[in-house]
Structure 1
Amino acid sequence: MTDAAPMSFYDEVGGHEVFERLVHLFYQGVATDPVLTPMYPADDMDGAERRLTMFLAQYWGGPNTYSQERGHPRLRMRHQAFHVNPDARDRWLGHMRDAMDELQLPPLHDATLWDYLQRAAHSLVNTFEPTPASTTPTSTTKEPS
């Protein structure tokens, strides 16, 4: 009998490289999206990629770098300054789905990660007001992660 700890989801899917690739592919889509792009400071897109990669890695059992550098994730608080309506949520999920499809994770891993991402995205909706006609950022902070 072995006392080895079970593998984390993070390790099962391939570790840091997989989350880094997922987030990079995701942000390629975000960079072309007129609703989402204004939520990300153009001069800190790399920082946004790094933060989301750290967050997802930590959430799924990887290094706790996110908490060491940024404290508790507080996702709702960190996203409150942004106009996250169902349209923004659906666009975010669309780009994430495209990125996940490129990864081609095994079906159970894909379903597990997708379930979490959908729940997280739905939880961050903070308004039902339509997307503003202007593409001006609703905040100047360097979020979301």
Structure 2
Amino acid sequence: MISTAYYVVAGGVPILVHNSCGPDMGAAARAAAKNVPQDATMTAVANIRGTNITEIGNSGASSRPAFLEPEIEEAAADGGQMFGGDAANCAEMRACNALFANHAADFEETFGRPLQLSEVFSAVIFSIGC
């Protein structure tokens, strides 16, 4: 399971990642880890706090998103997570990116305000094949 924890600064807000966050997300990550592409070495689950909305992210070239959502790209740059201009191989980044790509518009329609990165909890990471 996870052995380290760190914070990413998202628009001035520190966000904890690489942290176990309860059985529901742990179960989701374990289930997701069973169905990953062959080139994935890590899987992560991101959740919008206070909801049941989650997304899975995997490392590896075959799971690379077409682009990073602006909120994720900005936070990655602010938090020093851009490695040679590419943070998109990080399973956590991909899970958070998928939340924004797939749920931000619905969130705004439901709650009457934009989804903020500080409301996303990305944490459970499993090493595949270890």
Give the TM-score band, short-chain normalised.
0.3 to 0.5
Which structure shows the higher helix fraction? 1
The TM-score with structure 2 as length reference comes to 0.33
Which structure shows the higher strand fraction? 2
Which has the higher Rg, Structure 1 or Structure 2? 1
